[in-house]
């Protein structure tokens, strides 16, 4: 039985939390890559606390399905800190993440990258440099990293891909990736709508599936719901868009091998 995996989900104790996990499981899901939800820390101590909360949640989720934590400083958090003159906290956060990886308490780094909304040129450059430092760290640690960026067209994906190749990184995942065929040195994680996945299958590329569920009661429907990955997978399998082999590869071979599960 294939363990259907959502490669990018956030959970919040103030949201549906474990109810969302039950929904995921009932729909046929079996494994969650739990990405730290931005908590907008002001100090390194707060960041550490938030990482610890993510790990605690992961333990609780494991009573229901497989769950593996990915932690990092989100680009929106970087933006906030940078513009308060606290860029040093961002770099301390990177050191903190490194410790968690070395202690094998987390399976990956993320989200790191650049804000998805318009920012000043200065903020953009600083976040770009921070992303590069996170990528270098991931290479040195031989650790997967999930990248979050502004929305990118084919040229943007190619430019990012070139950068990753130049840096020599081999375990990069592009979170919220458009289903286009330009990926070479990174694996796209694609929002699991039927049309996106159908397009990704047609182009024959390697990809993961995600919802980017944010578990925010104030923004229901802001992103895909927790049932989406298993639902779309099973529907497209029934329709013959996905084959049994593809489902096994996407969910049960490529994910464990990339994250060393």
Residue ranges in contact with Zn ion by CB under 5 A: 212
Give the CB-nearest residue to Zn ion.
212
Burial of 48 (0-12, 13-18, 19+ CB in 10 A): middle
Residue 138's CB is within 10 A of a number of other CB atoms, namely 27
182 versus 212: smaller Cβ distance to Zn ion = 212
* Smallest gap from residue 213 Cβ to Zn ion (A): 9
Instruction: Name which of 9 and 81 has its Cβ closer to Zn ion.
Output: 9
* Beta bridge mates, 200: none
Residue corresponding to tokens 């009573």:
63
Instruction: State the nearest-atom distance from the C-beta of 10 to Zn ion, in Å.
Output: 6
Closer residue to Zn ion in complex, CB, 146/242: 146
SS3 (DSSP) at 180: coil
Q: In the complex with Zn ion, which residue's Cβ is closer, 212 or 215?
A: 212
What is the closest distance, in whole angstroms, from the C-beta atom of residue 73 to Zn ion in the complex?
Answer: 13
Shortest distance, CB of residue 111 to Zn ion, whole angstroms? 6
Phi, psi dihedrals of residue 53, rounded to the nearest 5°:
-60, -40
Residues 6+ apart with CB under 8 A from 66: 3, 30, 31, 32
Residue with Cβ nearer Zn ion (161 or 212): 212
The residue (of 33 and 205) whose beta carbon lies closer to Zn ion is 33
Residue 48 CB, nearest distance to Zn ion (Å)? 20
Tokens of 79: 């933006």
Cβ-based nearer residue to Zn ion, 33 or 169: 33
Question: Which tokens hold the place of 139?
Answer: 């290479």
First to last CA, the chain: 17
Residue reference for tokens 């790990």: 55
In the complex, minimum distance from the CB of residue 11 to Zn ion, in angstroms, rounded to a whole number: 11
- Angle subtended at Cα 51 by Cα 48 and Cα 53, rounded to the nearest 5 degrees: 110
Tell how far CA 13 is from the center of its chain: 19
Residue 38 structure tokens: 């931005």
Q: What is the DSSP letter of 209?
A: E
Q: How far is the CB of 154 from Zn ion (least distance, A)?
A: 23
């Amino acid at each position: 039985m294939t363990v259907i995996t959502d490669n990018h989900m956030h959970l919040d104790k103030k949201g549906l939390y474990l109810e969302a996990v039950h929904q995921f499981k009932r729909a046929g899901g079996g494994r969650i890559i739990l990405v730290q939800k931005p908590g907008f820390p002001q100090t390194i101590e707060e960041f550490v606390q938030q990482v610890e909360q993510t790990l605690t949640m992961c333990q609780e989720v494991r009573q229901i399905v497989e769950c593996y934590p990915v932690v990092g400083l989100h680009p929106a958090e970087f933006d906030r800190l940078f513009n308060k003159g606290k860029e040093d906290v961002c770099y301390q956060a990177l050191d903190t993440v490194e410790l968690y990886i070395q202690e094998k308490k987390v399976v990956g780094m993320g989200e790191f990258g650049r804000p998805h909304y318009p920012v000043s040129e200065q903020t953009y450059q600083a976040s770009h440099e921070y992303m590069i430092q996170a990528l270098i760290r991931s290479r040195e640690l031989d650790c997967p990293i999930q990248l979050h960026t502004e929305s990118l067209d084919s040229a943007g994906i190619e430019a990012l891909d070139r950068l990753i190749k130049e840096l020599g990184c081999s375990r990069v995942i592009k979170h919220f990736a458009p289903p286009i065929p330009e990926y070479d040195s990174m694996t796209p994680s694609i929002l699991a709508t039927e049309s996106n996945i159908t397009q990704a299958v047609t182009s024959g590329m390697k990809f993961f599936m995600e919802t980017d569920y944010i578990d925010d009661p104030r923004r229901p429907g802001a992103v895909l719901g927790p049932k989406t990955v298993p639902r779309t997978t099973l529907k497209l399998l029934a329709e013959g868009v996905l084959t049994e082999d593809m489902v096994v590869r996407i969910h049960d071979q490529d994910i464990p091998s990339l994250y060393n599960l």
